[in-house]
Structure 1
């Protein structure tokens, strides 16, 4: 039996907070000491005291800044997320905001609200509509920074609207490259995706090399009166530089998903309350994805879409025993593991070692189960965080 601690309302359509669909071998628990897995959405769990049985933290969404990744890795706890599961929701909102703000829709609507008690509102609306003349997006240039799960969809949607789309992503995957519309013009530098653009939208994760990547230099390269959109992470944008560009008139509008003490005071800025992925469909997609990842790891040791351990997939456990070792990525580890197993009668059918930064994952299939003395010997290897023994019938 696996015990799952559910934090937050993961998705309305998932019965019993996501546990029921996992099957009879899963049970919900409120006891962190007992939990094998945590399902979380938005709550910050940095200060939670994890129990000794915890194997998995599954984040129903893409961002993982609410999870102590290194702490989990060093305890052999695999953290999963749901990249791309909410990408359509973000794509639709970004495309819609580009259209509505190009037409000055919000100001026009606010004018009507301000004049709702005017008995001559019909005649006055006709007189004043010229104050809200906007522009069509067809044929206009837009730079899309980041062509991953979200950015690739945004780029394709803007192509469909008739825009002249330029994309920049130095880490573009083969999968997302195949998904890109051929009309998207890929450029090789950040400067090139900013130069002369009338619109700029960013879709990259927050990392050391992306924080404040849009600053004064990039904004100066944009076309006059450009529109900037940030539906990625708040710190991708240098807020002081954006504020100055809005004050000077370099930027016509700033549209973002992050209300901060600075953005809420910027002129010509429209802010949504971090709702880029807030649709029922996106919540369901994220929940189903991370539940599947969590279940596959607990039952088979498979790692897909982990943010602190490398991907590894041997498929279902069919016979004998599967040994999963989570450990430091240091020299000599495989030799030590092989040496211990070499002193037994165990026959290794498959073996792989994958690394991600400071941490690594070794997975082995054997024809027969390991005895406890061998398991203890493996556990004494320096740098081993956790050992899991998985059989076809029981994890």
Structure 2
């Protein structure tokens, strides 16, 4: 049986090439999986056949996560695949901002059509004298895949680095240099740093995270860089901080009508992850995660379910997405025992309101037996989607 994949946007061939036979790309109306980048699925009917959606990128605000969970759809992203691309642009903008390159290049462009360009350059270059970043203090808000490597590489540029992230993961913590100064109060970072870059995921809790209170805590003339999400910054507060000189320069990858054309705002057209290497890395990771889930039921880098991995060695596997409520696993075990199906291995993990269970059985199920089991599983209150994978294939 072929797996059918619907794609949106232009997905790098390096990723699509992983989905060979028995995969079919963009040939049907009822796909098993969706592979996309920035295309928005909000307001769009997602076919009931869809089992998983893989986003070739980190942010998933273009995907209706609650709706997907309610319908048993696993949503993946690709954390870290574009981290190097974003890091390089952040550090480029940091240096460019310190040396007034944005203003200098813009001014040089005004010389088109004039004469004695070399003389004008020599006469006016003093207006663009900048600063060296060596010895300056950079504040990094958020130590995820991007923030952590920005912090480490800023140290290599001889900057003093201060970081704030109360929720840094253990895996990332091991990668952060001991010379990065961790602080437990955001205000300490805001009041101490010459430059600040933010790398925090967007959520209901972080929308408007940098507000009037945060700006008032910053040093006068701060250089603020935002390659995470525009909504993390409260725009009325930002505009006020620009007008009173608290923010000397705001560099954002998310220009909009309110910010466009404002003095001391450098608007970049969402180029953070726009490199050929990043697009390939994201496509490869997304395709691998989608392929692994469809073939084995294992989950890695889901945003609505926990990571779950169990080697598939038994004749058959049941995958069950369900509400995180008591006695679900007990009901699954009882159902299988009543039909004399032996459980060879089992793994159950939860994340918030949702849970996911893998059950490997010693029995090789016939098509009728599989349909019966799946029907009975779906009749258990709280189960949203169950699948049978004989030898790893549904």
**TM more than 0.5:** yes
Worse overlay, 39-48 or 117-126: 117-126
SS at match of 2:162: strand
Show the counterpart of 1:386. 385
SS at match of 2:347: strand
SS at match of 2:364: coil
Cα deviation code 1:127-155 (max 9, x no counterpart)? 11110010111111111000000000111
Aligned partner of 2:314 among 312, 316, 319: 319
Worse overlay, 19-28 or 87-96: 19-28
- After superposition, residues 1-395 of structure 1 pair within 5 angstroms as 1-11=2-12, 13-14=13-14, 18-32=15-29, 34-315=30-311, 317-370=312-365, 371=369, 372-392=371-391, 394-395=393-394
Q: Which runs of 5+ in 2 are unaligned?
A: none
CA contact (8 A) 1:102 1:136 kept: yes
Distance across 2 between alignment mates of 1:369 and 1:74: 30
CA contact (8 A) 1:196 1:221 kept: no
Deviation at 1:375, TM superposition (A): 3.0
Worse overlay, 235-244 or 187-196: 187-196
Moved over 4 A (4+): none
Deviation at 1:346, TM superposition (A): 1.6
Alignment RMSD, CA only?
A: 1.4
CA contact (8 A) 1:19 1:27 kept: no
CA contact (8 A) 1:79 1:306 kept: yes
CA contact (8 A) 2:374 2:387 kept: no
Q: Which runs of 5+ in 1 are unaligned?
A: none
CA contact (8 A) 2:255 2:268 kept: yes
CA contact (8 A) 2:317 2:392 kept: no
CA contact (8 A) 1:69 1:79 kept: yes
Q: How many aligned residue pairs are there? A: 389
TM-score, scaled relative to structure 1: 0.95
CA contact (8 A) 1:60 1:290 kept: yes
Distance across 1 between alignment mates of 2:392 and 2:298: 16
